[in-house]
Amino acid sequence: MLQACISNSEDQLRKVEKRRLLLRALAPMAGRKVIQGDVLKTELPYFDICVANIPYQICSPLTFKLLNHQPPFRAAIIMFQREFAMRLVAQPGDKLYCRLTVNTQLHARIFHLLKVRRNNFRPPPKVDSSVVRIEPRKPCIEVKQEEWDGFLRIGFNRKNKTLGSIFRQKNVITLLEKNYRTVQALKLSQEDLLNETDTKMDFSSFGDDQGMEMDDDDDEMEVEDGEADEVQSEFNDKVLGVLKEGDFEDKRSSKLSRQEFLYLLSLFNKAAYHFYNVFPLFKSILFL
């Protein structure tokens, strides 16, 4: 059906297909180029529009592969597992609002088009689906991948706790202090640090091998021993001072917009606090 809907297009059509059984059926399509291979491992050519009904286990990695594609495409119309799709379009305060939401909406506008019930398929799958439209933002918003993702991981570790509570945790303060001392020891200004490497986002690792893995514990991740330990120190007071400066101490990640996350990160960076080397804090990493 998908092929029939787009087969009359006068524009050049390219299709990536992994299954050998379908290659024969696709071969007679005049003026169409069929690329055999795994779409996650295939270098995609230039394209303007992407239309896809994909295996649900590759929802996350494919989404970020597309968002990382250069030059940016105009739009992608994709059918996802419904829960994944609703995470993409969630708004601050929604139950499904999470790191996935903020990461994707930072770089694209995403619209929910329609719900597709499981009984519309034969045989019916176990879950419902949804079709969404993804439009990359132009110009793109440039952030440092490692720091941005580390910042969000800390914020969404307990997304319904106040940021003041999160940034009193011993492991978080230890991480920030270590990064701060490293920057000072190397005598790098904030501008030097942010311009040291290419600012282009690379999403390729965000969804690798994660599939549609969902966390049932309200998007919370386990932290190494000492996660609940709160510390009182001069450095901790300075970190909390950043939160107070932006009026974030009593706010929760579950209710912050992407603009507020960007603003808060800029306040931390202004004070020379950075969010590198966050991954060792967590026993398990789920892309949510």
Task: Classify burial at 170, counting beta carbons within 10 Å of its beta carbon; exposed 0-12, middle 13-18, buried 19 or more.
Answer: middle
Tokens of 20: 């050998």
**139/240 Cα distance (integer angstroms):** 33
Is 222 labelled as part of a ligand binding site? Answer: no
Tokens of 105: 């909406």
**49/42 Cα distance (integer angstroms):** 17
Is 53 labelled as part of a ligand binding site? Answer: yes
**Residue 130 backbone phi and psi in degrees, to 5:** -145, 145
Is 17 labelled as part of a ligand binding site? Answer: yes
Tokens of 204: 């390729």
The vertex-99 CA angle with 95 and 104, nearest 5°, equals 105
**Binding-site residue positions for S-adenosyl-L-methionine:** 1, 17, 38, 53
